[in-house]
């Protein structure tokens, strides 16, 4: 399940962001994935049996060729998924996606609490969610838990207003990356999340993923969640078929722009300028692809 990071700039400054080097317009130099690199990545994914293309940033909506990337992916039979904050003027979004075939199959809308937005920004996010829904895109909400004083009611309000039923919960890596919090505070986050699931589990479908700590829930909470079909997933503490492809085509075990524990780059493959010119057959024969194909066995 590869994530493709197509740019390094974002229009928001979220306090929990794990891509802190890439989260503002001021990120220099601005980097956008080249079309030729993306074609090579699609070849790699096709040759190795991957069926999904997941667009990350930065903020993918800022990439000037995003629509072309989605069109090419859909033409190749890939399922397309985008992670976006959707905090853009409605006209910007509607103009960008005038061609219905350029709409991604699924969007995970990364939503903040209400106090993060101005009234205009909040209305934009709601309207853009509805725009994509009307176009046939499956919409989910992604909520990063980083402050226990924040009310989850804000997220429920967005979900009810837009008719979204699927909510992805995540304790951010910036929280659990702090050893002190991992040792002494992770249970507080477990209690917070469990209360959400217990309160709203009948109305919404929840997926929970946690980057580092397996001690966030007690056994009775896990048993209850399992009984309603929720199985917590633990990310960067072990490879389970997920990896990230950076702007230049380099493959990483985890998102490459955060802290040192996420910067353990796997030197297994990189799309060089020469390799971008290869035919599909040429790429298939490269030793880099062979190493990438056995990624789960790489240490």
| pLDDT tens digits, 196-226 | 999 999 899 998 876 555 677 888 998 998 8
Residue 189 CA, chain-centre distance (Å), reads 21
pLDDT at 37: 92
What value does the mean pLDDT of the chain take? 77
Decide if pLDDT at 92 tops 70: yes
Task: Supply the pTM of this predicted model.
Answer: 0.80
Domains and CATH numbers, the chain: 1-84+244-299 (3.30.750.210)
Highest mean pLDDT among 1-5, 73-77, 146-150, 157-161: 157-161
| pLDDT tens digits, 13-29 | 887 776 655 555 555 67
Q: How far is CA 107 from CA 18, 25, 204, 211, 241, in A?
A: 19, 22, 17, 21, 21
Q: For the chain, what percent of residues have pLDDT higher than 90?
A: 45
Cα–Cα distance for residue pair 208/168, rounded to 1 Å: 6
Cβ neighbours around 115 below 10 Å, total: 9
Query: Cβ contacts of residue 142 below 8 Å, gap of 6+?
Result: 83, 108, 109, 110, 111, 167, 168, 170
Q: Which of 113, 110, 109 is nearest to 138 (CA)?
A: 109
Are 116 and 72 spatial neighbours (Cβ–Cβ below 8 Å)?
no
Task: Give the 3-state secondary structure of residue 191.
Answer: helix
Cα–Cα distance for residue pair 90/178, rounded to 1 Å: 38
46 or 287, greater pLDDT: 46
């Amino acid at each position: 399940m590869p994530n493709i990071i197509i740019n390094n700039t974002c229009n928001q400054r979220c306090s929990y962001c794990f891509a802190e080097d890439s989260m503002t317009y001021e990120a220099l130099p601005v980097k956008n994935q080249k079309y030729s690199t993306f074609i090579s990545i699609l070849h790699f994914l096709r040759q190795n049996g991957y069926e999904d293309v997941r667009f990350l940033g930065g903020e993918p909506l800022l990439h000037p060729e995003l629509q072309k990337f989605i069109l090419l992916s859909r033409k190749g039979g890939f399922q397309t998924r985008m992670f976006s904050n959707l905090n853009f003027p409605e006209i910007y979004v509607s103009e960008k996606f005038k061609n219905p075939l350029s709409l991604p199959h699924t969007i995970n809308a990364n939503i903040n609490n209400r106090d993060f937005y101005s009234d205009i920004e909040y209305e934009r996010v709601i309207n853009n969610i509805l725009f994509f829904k009307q176009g046939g895109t499956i919409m989910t909400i992604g909520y990063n838990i980083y402050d226990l004083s924040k009310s989850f009611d804000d997220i429920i309000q967005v979900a009810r207003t837009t008719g979204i039923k699927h909510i992805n919960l995540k304790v951010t890596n910036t929280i659990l990356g702090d050893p002190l919090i991992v040792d002494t505070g992770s249970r507080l986050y477990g209690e917070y999340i469990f209360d959400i699931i217990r309160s709203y589990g009948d109305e919404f479908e929840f997926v929970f993923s946690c980057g580092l700590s397996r001690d966030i829930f007690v056994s009775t909470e896990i048993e209850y969640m399992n009984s309603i079909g929720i199985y917590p997933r633990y990310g960067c503490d072990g490879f389970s078929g997920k990896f990230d492809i950076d702007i230049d085509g380099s493959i990483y075990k985890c998102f490459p722009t955060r802290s040192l524990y996420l910067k353990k780059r796997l030197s297994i493959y990189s799309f060089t300028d020469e390799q971008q010119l290869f035919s599909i057959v040429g790429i298939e024969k490269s030793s880099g692809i062979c190493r990438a194909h056995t990624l789960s066995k790489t240490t």
